[in-house]
Structure 1
Amino acid sequence: MESLVSANTKFCFDLFQELSKNDRLKNMFFCPLSISAALGMIRLGARSDSARQIDEVLHFNELSQSESKEPDPCLKRNKLEVPADSSLEGEENTKGSLNLQAKSSKDENQLLSCYFEQLLSKLDRIRTDYTLSIANRLYGEQEFPVCPEFLEAVIKFYHTTIESVDFRKETEKSRQEINFWVESQSQGKIKELFSKDTISEATVLVLVNAVYFKAKWEKHFDCENTVDAPFSLTESEKKNVKMMHQKGLFRIGFIEELKAQILEMKYTKGKLSMFVLLPTCSEDNVKALEELERKITHEKIEAWSSSENMSEETVALSFPQFILEDSYNLNAILQDMGIKDIFDETKANLTGISPSPNLYLSKVVHKTFVEVDEYGTQAAAATGAVGMAKSMPRCIEFNADHPFLFFVKHNKTQTILFYGRVCCP
């Protein structure tokens, strides 16, 4: 399962770079795990080049390289047969060789799905300390029959299903049904996922994912210490924000190569944490943030947030309240990253989902909401409260009064649940 976490993290940073291309000053917030799991579900039914492109972009092709040298318990444990990729084209092989390749592809698909089942189960398990709801669902035009094996596997591994709707004759009703489901899954925080005219009678398959997260800070901020303070957007532009303050023990480190601080703020009981990457305040804060963004990799995040780089110190912490809300139509973004065929009516091979050769993915939509205040985080939002740590003589200042990056991590699995950039709270 560790290699799936690694693959998801790599995809997170790849996606962030793609989303950042057009606007370096834009606030951003997304859930890489949700998108990865949603596309893992599509991968279950993708074949030939459609499958290969997903594997390469989401780093799924790296799973077996690092973990299948020995028989994997996932492959032993799961008796459910994942639909095999039998459409191996463009190769002249014997029948026996083809069968071996089909079996290998099926094993890799089952390995991926089983890892997702393990990971999603671990994340959903603890509900007393935080709420995390990752809800993915496929909506397919009712004229397309769904393969029973695919439906069974999606329910088992991804804890969801594929809903049959009438996009052609009841377009508006279908849109409202999808929007209602998303709103209910996100505790009312994500409304109107699909605006009018975004779904038409030509729509055949829609992939939706909604994420809701709510947790309390282990060390809450006292509301009485929240004051209006300037936040430096650019060299010349400042904005007054609600700045929260507290002094206490936090894990903090310094990234020498980037002249940046990294701080961990734990949620109740320490199962989840928010990590904040803050470049040193300079004449050009935007340039400093861009430099940080360019240098981030999966390996470096692991090193920067390790116990070798971070230690528990008394910190005078200043952190802004903020609400971020964003919506991403991922079709064009994923195509630019290399996942092209599943969106092309003439090239898509999703015959593991439906035997119909005309099935392709019409839309992938991802909408997010995060609110950070004195008590905690509500992502899709936040609330909560716990005690303060006593102060120590030595004190390090961490003042997030200029653009920064942040991510929320599930500490036991090292999974990045949310990733974001705050340029303007």
Structure 2
Amino acid sequence: MESLIAANIKFCFDFFQKISKDVHCKNIFFSPLSISAALGMVHLGARGDSAHQLNQVLHLNEFSQKESKQLDLCLKREEQEVHADSSLEGQKETTGSLPQQAESSKDESGLFSCCFGQLLAKLGRIKVDYTLSIANRLYEEQGFPIRPEYLDAVIEFYHTTIESVDFQKDAEKSRREINFWVESQSQGKIKDLFSKDAINSLTVLVLVNAVYFKAKWEKYFDSENTVDELFFLSENEKKSVKMMNQTGLFRIGFVEELKAQILELRYIKGKLSMIVLLPESSADNLKGLEELERSITYEKLVAWSSSENMSEKTVAVSFPKFILEDSYDLIPILQDMGITDIFDETKADLTGISPNANLYLSKAIHKTFVEVDENGTQAAAASGVVGTALSAPSWETFNANHPFLFFIRHNKTQTILFCGRICSP
């Protein structure tokens, strides 16, 4: 699973570079995990150049040979976990043998999908402490036959399915049906994923991808300490925001090469954390942020957030409240990254999904929602783990009153669930 995590983080930074390169002062929020899972569903049925392009962009070509030998073990673990969880409410029944489903694809695709199934299962088991809704589904035009083995694999590995709708005769009804499903999967927070006219009678295959996240802080911010303060985009451009404040024990570090602070804000029970990268304040704060964005890589983030660089100290934290809603048309972004054939009806090879050679992906939308406030994002009782005063008389200061990057991470697996940039709360 280590290669899956590394591939996901590398894809995260590649995707971030593409969406931020021409927009230097815009809030950004997306889920690399969710997009990777959605593309993984397509990759499972892609063949030829279509599969090769997905391999490259998702970094699946970097899966080592020795890890490919772990496929049988991965499949056995997945099968055991499916049987162990079969009594849980909402568990889908197995519709085929896992080894049979992956028998024809003992390669990066098989390992990738199996590992993804395990990862999604791990994340799903601990939702009692937070809400993480990853809504992935493929909608195909009626009349396109779907291979039974593909259906079996998608259900088992990605915990979703393909739905047949009538785009040709009633595109509007299909649009409403898709939007309703996404809204129900996201606690009502993600509405109108597809706007009017986004789906028409020519639509044949739609990839639906929506994510919703809510969690409580391990150490909540007292609302009485939230005050109006200035947030500085630059020396001459600033705005008033609601700034939360608290002093307590936090893991903090410093990235010398970029003159940036790194802070970990843990969510309840420590299963998830927000990792915040804050460049040093300057006359042009956006320039410092751009330098950070250009420099960040998977390997560097691992080093910066390691125990060698970060230690627990008493920190006076100032952090803005914010709500982010973001939406991306994935097709032009992914085309720019090198995934082109699956969106071209003359080149797409999705014959692993359907024997119909004319199948191609005509729409792919990614929409997200996140809210950060004093309690985290969910009003509830405090966790009870409140930082107490230490004997040391001094403390460090972490004042996020200028643009910063943040990542929401699942700590046990080191998976980045979300990536964000705050330029203007």
* TM tier, smaller: over 0.9
- Listed one character per residue, the Cα deviations across residues 280-311 of structure 1 (whole Å, up to 9, x for unaligned) are 10111000000000110001100000000000
Distance 1:158 1:70, change over 3 A: closer
Mapped to 2, the partners of 1:236 and 1:383 lie a distance apart of 39
- SS for the counterpart of 1:218 is coil
Aligned partner of 2:82 in structure 1 is none
Is the Cα–Cα contact under 8 Å of residues 243 and 321 in structure 1 kept in the other structure? yes
Q: Which amino acid aligns with 2:149?
A: E
Q: Which residue of 1 aligns with 2:101?
A: 82
Post-superposition Cα deviations, 1:171-209, rounded to whole Å, max 9, x if no partner, equal: 000000000011111101111000001001000000011
Secondary structure (helix, strand or coil) at the match of 2:14 reads helix
Identity of aligned residues (%): 72
Residue aligning to 1:243: 243
2:68/2:108 contact within 8 Å kept? no
SS for the counterpart of 2:127 is coil
1:214·1:383 contact (CA, 8 Å) conserved in 2?
Answer: no
Equivalent pair of 1:82/1:106 in contact (CA under 8 Å): no
2:377 alignment partner, SS class: strand
Instruction: Indicate conservation of the 8 Å contact 1:217/1:384, yes or no.
Output: no
Supply the distance in 1 between the matched residues of 2:179 and 2:142 (Cα, whole angstroms).
18
1:386 equivalent in alignment to 2:405: no
Q: Which residue identity is paired with 1:389?
A: G
1:331 to partner: Cα distance: 0.3
Per-residue CA shift, 1:105-125, capped at 9, x if unaligned? 544322111101111011111
- Superposed, 1:149-298 pairs within 5 Å as 149-298=149-298
Distance 1:272 1:14 in 2: 23
1:21 partner letter: K
Higher deviation after alignment, 266-275 or 120-129: 120-129
Kept after mapping to 1: 8 A contact 2:33/2:417: yes
What is residue 97 of structure 1 aligned with on the other side?
Answer: none
- Alpha-carbon separation, structure 2, partners of 1:136 and 1:23: 27
- CA distance in 2 between partners of 1:140 and 1:384 (Å): 44
Separation in structure 1 between the aligned mates of residue 71 and residue 158 of structure 2, nearest angstrom: 23
Deviation at 1:342, TM superposition (A): 0.1
Could you report, residue by residue, the CA deviation over 1:329-371 in whole angstroms, capped at 9, with x for unpaired residues? Answer: 0100000000000000000000011110110000110001111
Distance in 2, matches of 1:161 and 1:283, equals 51
1:207 maps to amino acid: L
| C-alpha distance in 1 between matches for 2:381 and 2:171 | 41
Structure 1 CA distance for aligned equivalents of residues 165 and 102 of structure 2:
23
Q: 1:384 to 1:201 in 2, by over 3 A?
A: farther
CA distance in 2, matches of 1:108, 1:250: 39
Give me the whole-angstrom Cα distance separating, in 2, the residues matched to 1:19 and 1:216.
Answer: 29
Q: 3-state DSSP class of the match of 1:8?
A: helix
Return closer, same or farther for 1:282/1:66 CA change in 2, 3 Å cut-off. Answer: farther
The TM-score with structure 1 as length reference comes to: 0.92
Rounded Cα–Cα distance in structure 2 between residues aligned with 1:397 and 1:52 = 47
Give me the whole-angstrom Cα distance separating, in 2, the residues matched to 1:184 and 1:202: 26
In structure 1, the gaps of 5 or more residues are 85-102
Deviation at residue 71 of structure 1 after TM alignment: 6.4
Inter-partner Cα distance in structure 2 for 1:67 and 1:394: 48
Residue 86 of structure 2 is matched in structure 1 by: none
Instruction: State whether residues 220 and 375 of structure 1, in contact with CA within 8 Å, keep that contact through their aligned partners in structure 2.
Output: yes
SS in 1 for 2:44: helix
SS at match of 1:178: helix
- For residues 176 and 66 of structure 1, the distance between their equivalents in structure 2, rounded to whole angstroms, comes to 46
Offset of residue 212 of structure 1? 1.8
1:82–1:109 Cα contact (<8 Å) kept:
no
Partner SS, residue 192 of structure 1: coil
Alpha-carbon distance in 2 for matches of 1:385, 1:192: 34
Residues 31 and 419 of structure 1 are in contact (CA less than 8 Å); yes or no, is this contact kept in structure 2? yes
- Counterpart CA distance in 1 for 2:11 and 2:110 is 20
The number of equivalent residue pairs is 403
RMSD between superposed Cα atoms in Å: 1.5
Question: 1:262 & 1:200 partners in 2: Cα distance?
Answer: 46
Q: Does 1:408 align with 2:405?
A: no
1:390 is aligned with what amino acid?
Answer: T
- Give matches, 1:110-129, under 5 Å: 110-129=110-129
TM-score for the superposition, normalised by structure 2? 0.92
SS in 2 for 1:377: coil
Aligned residue identity for 1:385: A
Cα distance between partner residues in 2 of 1:350 and 1:368: 27
Q: Distance in 1 between matches of 2:40 and 2:166?
A: 25
Question: What CA distance in whole angstroms lies between the structure 1 residues aligned with 2:147 and 2:69?
Answer: 31
Can you list the C-alpha shifts for 1:252-295, whole angstroms capped at 9, x where unaligned? 00000000000000001100000100001011100000000011
Deviations 1:80-122 (A, max 9, x none): 23367xxxxxxxxxxxxxxxxxx5x544322111101111011
